[in-house]
Chains A and B, each alone.
Chain A
Amino acid sequence: DAGVTQSPTHLIKTRGQQVTLRCSPKSGHDTVSWYQQALGQGPQFIFQYYEEEERQRGNFPDRFSGHQFPNYSSELNVNALLLGDSALYLCASSPRRVGEQFFGPGTRLTVL
């Protein structure tokens, strides 16, 4: 049983560009949450998707958006990248909206 998978592993972008990160949840899980982890910090909640809708959002600007597909996979989009967006982006899935969360390995985004 594959766990949570994320792609790509690493990404380098320049300021002002746009980026899309992808996540496939663990088999049997229908809820995906996204977290941003800056260097030396704990993960911070970005938003959660369930039944293809954004259900809850953390304190992140509208430049951060997402999508969930019918197969429960998800994308995180960030527009107009800033240097401060450089971080490890973690995807977590759970078997239902409030279930235990399993994390993927993350995507390391570097903004130059």
Chain B
Amino acid sequence: AQSVTQPDIHITVSEGASLELRCNYSYGATPYLFWYVQSPGQGLQLLLKYFSGDTLVQGIKGFEAEFKRSQSSFNLRKPSVHWSDAAEYFCAVGASGSSNTGKLIFGQGTTLQVKP
């Protein structure tokens, strides 16, 4: 069964510092992978996605993520965090290929707090 684990429930970084949010997935084949961000009381905004090809993907707001098949990971990174990045971040996995039904499985989320 597909599953997603985000090991860090809460992370605090200083403004201007680098950021890495961890995501590990369980899936039998190469999955579709996503990172979403959610501000308080809001819906989800897609930051970036991996379907195939280059394992380093660029997203919006200066975020990037790297797909590592050997580690079943899809970690999100940003070189310099801004105070406006404080939010909840969700990693999600979807089935690929002929098994793709559009259903997304989400991790529990990581809350990012940014110190001034």
Contact = CB atoms under 8 A, between A and B. Distances in A.
Contacts, number: 62
Given A41-B109, A103-B36, A33 B103 contact: yes
A33 B54 CA distance: 28
Interface size bracket, A side: 20 to 34
B102 A33 contact: yes
Interface string B31-73: 0000010000111111001000000000000000000000000
Contact of B43 (A33, A100, A106): A106
Interface size bracket, B side: 20 to 34
B45 A103 contact: yes
A85 to B, nearest CB: 19
B43 A90 contact: yes
Interface of A: 4, 31, 33, 35, 40-45, 48, 55-56, 58, 90, 92, 94, 97-106, 108
Given A102-B46, A105-B42, 5 more contacts: A42-B90, A48-B101, A58-B103, A97-B101, A99-B102
